[in-house]
């Protein structure tokens, strides 16, 4: 079976489709996807890596009064996209695709430009989130792009370089509306920072940036390397930042433009450096004087959730890999030719960090052993099956004790594993899993959980964690079949409705949901 449709250039468009089934009336709003799904192929030169696609935003507006879902697709009008479109190739360096050196710059300018945020890409192809009163698209540089969630029009660029050099595209919004993110600076030593943007309704970028607070700073444990991060953990009282052994060589990075190499080429795997878990108090920004390290090295992209239990433990749930091999396999040449062969697949792992007086006895095989000043961590494998990604959960339990996570097969779906072509609900306590699964030709994107509104008349308990609707776009690689959005009852993962479209849906990455 050819999976080339998943990696073809996308197109803009507007269409609609009828809601078939019985979708609860309270399901109202807009599901928006972002991700490296837009354009990889250009007139003169193509992008090399899946992450390097020019971002296209896709929204699914649910209109219950008309029993329709309206699909809208718009390219993010970033500087990176505009220059690539005008020149027939990538002009600004992306994750895995280098650009040519600018002939108008001298040698010193080229050396410095590789770490100047203004020279970084604004191809914000990772996520969309609310920052103050604005909606912004993000990537893993210090640049954001304002986005209109209704029209998907691209607004001004927001440059956070006065605060940090890079920031993750996976911030966390707490239950008060404050936005936190993990970030880094390089110019005065390699440091990691946790930023806080207090909740506000401001739509003034300068006001939003001036309100930002650096709540914690950590030096890198390696002087000339910094750990790659895509996400971090946050409970009600703690942040968790994991320094992993997939690291960027700052010396390579400085000379990358002159040598014509990408950020991906500056990354190195150092398995002798086990992962270190840094635990930081949210109230003070102080790092706990406890050293937690993993027994074995691992690579990861996504945290699932982090919470404090009743026994003095901090529980950190992750999707982990034995190595970063998956990123090497995601070159477009391999993906389009069907040569996607992962050497190690992701695992749902639970790490339990005993804080003062904590015990790990209630978490299966999760262990923590003390050797001198180091607490060595061995994870508990929540399920035996491997090969899932893009975890989501009921937003009401983010940072709190919870039971259910929802995952998809993602790129692994081409390998026909357990999670392939499915949206799977995992009981994080028991390992029991329940899936909605379509044919092998259908590929769900990240699933979103929409909780059913609480009504005082119903007397609904807050313990009804899985009382809601799961939504996801699904791309069908068969030429004669339509792509669709599916709606599931999260309690039993049964399908309650779907909506098919005549237009195609690009195989997307991260999603957000906004109520009308």
Annotated binding-site positions: 230, 510
Return d(Cα 116, Cα 110) in angstroms, integer. 10
Distance (Å, rounded) from C-alpha 153 to C-alpha 474? 24
Q: Are 355 and 370 in contact (CB under 8 A)?
A: no
Other Cβ atoms closer than 10 A to 57: 29
Residue 177, Cα to own-chain centre: how many angstroms? 19
DSSP one-letter string for 442-507: EEE---EEEEPPP-TTTT--TT-TT-EEEEEEEEE-STTS-EEEEEEETTTTEEEEEEEESS----
321 and 298 in contact (C-beta within 8 Å)? yes
**What Rg do the C-alpha atoms of the chain give, in angstroms?**
22
- HSE-CB at 287 with a 13 A cutoff on CA atoms is 17
DSSP-derived letter for residue 142 is S
Strands (DSSP E) contained in 78-178 are: 127-131, 134-138, 143-147, 154-159, 166-167, 172-173
Reading the block at residue 169, the tokens are: 């595209």
In angstroms, rounded to a whole number, what is the distance separating the alpha carbons of residues 177 and 180?
10
How many helices, marked H, and strands, marked E, lie in the chain?
Answer: 7, 37
**Is residue 349 within 8 Å of 273, Cβ to Cβ?**
no
Smallest CA-to-CA distance from 248 within 231, 219, 269, 232 is with 269
Length of the chain: 516
Q: How many CB atoms lie under 10 A from the CB of residue 286?
A: 11
Element of type H or E holding 199: none
Q: Are the CB atoms for 61 and 72 separated by under 8 Å?
A: yes
Determine the Cα–Cα distance for residues 136 and 144; give it in Å rounded to an integer.
6
Assign 207 to helix, strand or coil. helix
How far from 488 is each of 58, 61, 222, 473, 506, CA to CA, in Å? Answer: 20, 17, 46, 12, 21
Q: Answer for the pair 377, 360: CB distance below 8 angstroms, yes or no.
A: no
**Token reading at 403:** 């039971």
Annotated binding site for Fe cation: 230, 510
**If we measure between CA atoms, which residue out of 238, 233, 245, 366 comes closest to residue 297?**
245
């Amino acid at each position: 079976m050819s999976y080339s449709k998943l990696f073809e250039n996308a197109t803009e468009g507007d269409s609609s489709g009828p809601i078939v089934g019985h979708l609860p009336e309270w399901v109202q709003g807009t599901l928006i996807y972002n991700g490296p799904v837009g354009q990889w192929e250009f007139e003169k030169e193509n992008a090399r890596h899946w992450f390097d696609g020019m971002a296209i935003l896709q929204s699914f507006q649910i209109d219950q009064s008309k029993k329709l879902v309206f699909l809208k697709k718009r390219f993010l009008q970033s500087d990176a996209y505009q220059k690539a479109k005008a020149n027939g190739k990538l002009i600004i360096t992306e994750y895995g695709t280098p650009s040519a050196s600018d002939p108008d710059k001298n040698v010193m300018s080229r050396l410095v430009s590789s770490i100047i945020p203004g020279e970084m890409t604004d191809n914000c192809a990772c996520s969309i989130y609310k920052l103050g009163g604005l909606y912004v698209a993000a990537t893993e540089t210090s640049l954001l792009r304002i986005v209109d969630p209704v029209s998907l029009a691209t607004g001004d660029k927001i440059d956070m370089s006065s605060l940090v050099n890079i920031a993750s595209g996976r911030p966390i919004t707490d239950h008060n509306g404050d936005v936190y993110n993990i970030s880094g600076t390089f110019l005065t030593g390699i440091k990691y920072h946790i930023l806080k943007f207090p909740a506000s309704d401001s739509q003034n970028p300068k006001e939003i940036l001036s309100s930002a607070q650096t709540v914690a700073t950590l030096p890198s444990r390696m002087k000339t390397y910094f750990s790659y991060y895509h996400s971090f953990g946050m409970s009600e009282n703690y942040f968790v930042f994991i320094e992993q052994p997939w690291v960027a060589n700052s010396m390579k990075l400085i000379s990358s433009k002159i040598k014509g190499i990408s950020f991906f080429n500056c990354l190195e795997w150092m398995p002798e450096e086990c992962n270190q878990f840094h635990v930081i108090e949210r109230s003070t920004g102080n790092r706990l004087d406890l050293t937690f390290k993993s027994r074995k090295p691992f690579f990861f992209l996504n945290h699932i959730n982090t919470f404090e239990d009743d026994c003095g433990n901090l529980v950190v749930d992750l999707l982990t890999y034995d190595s970063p091999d998956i990123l090497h396999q995601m070159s477009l040449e391999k993906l389009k030719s069907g040569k996607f062969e992962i050497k190690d697949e992701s695992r749902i792992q639970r790490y339990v960090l005993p804080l003062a007086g904590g015990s790990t006895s209630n978490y299966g095989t999760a262990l923590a052993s003390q050797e001198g000043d180091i607490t060595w961590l061995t994870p508990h494998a929540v399920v035996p099956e491997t090969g899932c990604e893009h975890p989501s959960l009921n937003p009401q339990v983010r940072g709190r004790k919870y039971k259910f996570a929802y995952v998809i097969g993602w790129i692994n779906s081409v390998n026909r594993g357990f999670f392939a072509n499915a949206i799977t609900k995992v009981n994080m306590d028991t390992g029991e899993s329940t899936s909605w699964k379509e044919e092998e030709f259908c590929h769900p994107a990240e699933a979103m959980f929409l909780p059913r509104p609480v009504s005082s008349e119903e007397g609904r308990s807050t313990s009804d964690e899985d009382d809601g609707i799961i939504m996801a776009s699904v791309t069908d690689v068969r030429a004669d079949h339509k792509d669709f959005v599916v709606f599931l009852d999260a309690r039993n993962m049964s399908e309650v409705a779907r909506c098919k479209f005549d237009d195609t849906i690009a195989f997307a990455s991260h999603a957000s949901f906004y109520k009308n």
